[in-house]
Amino acid sequence: MLNVSSHKHFILDGFSELGALRPVLFVPFFSMFVVSLSANSLLLYIVISQRSLHSPMCILIAGLSCVDLSLPLFVVPNMLLSFLFDWRGISLIGCLVQMFFIHFVASFQSTLLLWMALDRYFAICTPLYYHERMALPRFLKFIIPLVIRNILLITVFVSLAGKLTFCAENVMNHCFCEHMALVELACGSTAINNLAGLLTIFLNPVADFIIIAASYIIIFSSVLTSGKSGVKALHTCVTHIVVITVSLSIALIAFLSYRIRNGLPAAVRVFISTMYLLFPSCFNPIIYGIRTTEIRRHILITRKCSQLVPTVPHS
């Protein structure tokens, strides 16, 4: 019997189909990276600096901005270096660490939208008890179980990926360490890895979406029966529905494209997976900054103040 050594070093070869044109990708991805960093940083600054915005909903929006700010930092800088200087190598340990942080942080996108849905449910359906139920000790009952769920799910499938043996090839057709892109390179059975990945999908974003949908059905029915007085309260709900629908759609396409036989070109699969991380990070702060009245007003005030600051003439 031959002794076969397992690979401990991998090549991230995403968008290799573009050949000499691959460095051109630096421009659009760098632009999205700058938009994500600047928009999320501004939104965080506005919420933190304005005491009037320290309401539960605005704090949850700031939490979503923290997720959207940190997520590209685990992916994009390495991608940009790869596009410019052709630096594509990564160790197995580095790959698993990147995979853990990417999926762990990304798991909180849908979780935060679920917490926002609970906030709207309490505000619209039980307004007299809103402050009591959104007080931190009570709200922790909703927060802690979901945090534990996210940690356990991500830890399990990353640990299982780390136990695989990679003895065929070490070229990963991706720009970062996506779970299934790594699992596909393993020799031997990967059924348990596929199962763990699917369970994570359905117990995290899909389960969150089902609870969010159920809460909004209750909210809409409550508003319709209460008359016009509740229509204004649906303003933020519409934003959440748009964001969670777009995010979940991209996430499911990205995850299932590796698990269901399809005719998608490899470059398209890589692009969809990358957009799953970058698209929400770029557009969530813009959407919430525009559609949340209090935040939009403070952004406009901050912008006007920065324009009115006099410049000191040089002598």
* Torsion angle defined by CA atoms of residues 297, 298, 303 and 304, in that order, rounded to the nearest 10 degrees: 70
Residues in the chain: 315
Q: For residue 161, what is the enclosing H or E element?
A: helix 136-162
Per-position pLDDT tens, the chain of length 315 = 344 456 788 888 888 888 888 889 999 999 999 999 999 999 999 999 888 888 888 888 899 999 999 999 999 999 999 998 888 888 889 999 999 999 999 888 888 888 888 888 888 888 888 888 888 888 888 888 999 999 999 999 999 998 888 876 788 888 899 888 888 888 888 889 888 888 888 898 889 888 888 888 888 888 777 665 555 556 667 777 777 787 778 777 777 777 666 667 778 888 888 888 888 888 888 888 777 778 888 777 777 766 655 555 554
Nearest Cα neighbor of 45 from 245, 218, 285, 208 is: 285
> Can you tell me which residue has the tokens 């927060």?
143
**Amino acid letter at 153?**
L
Distance CA(220)–CA(149), nearest Å, equals: 29
User: Is 69 within 8 Å of 40 (Cβ atoms)?
Assistant: yes
Q: Which residues contact 129 (CB under 8 A, 6 or more apart)?
A: 122
> Which secondary-structure segment (H or E) carries 195?
helix 191-201
| CA dist list (Å): 46 to 17, 112, 296 | 42, 19, 9
Token duo for residue 282: 């770029």
Task: Report the predicted TM-score, pTM, of the whole model to 2 decimal places.
Answer: 0.84
CATH topology of domain 9-300: Rhopdopsin 7-helix transmembrane proteins (1.20.1070)
Sign of CA dihedral 303, 291, 150, 138: positive
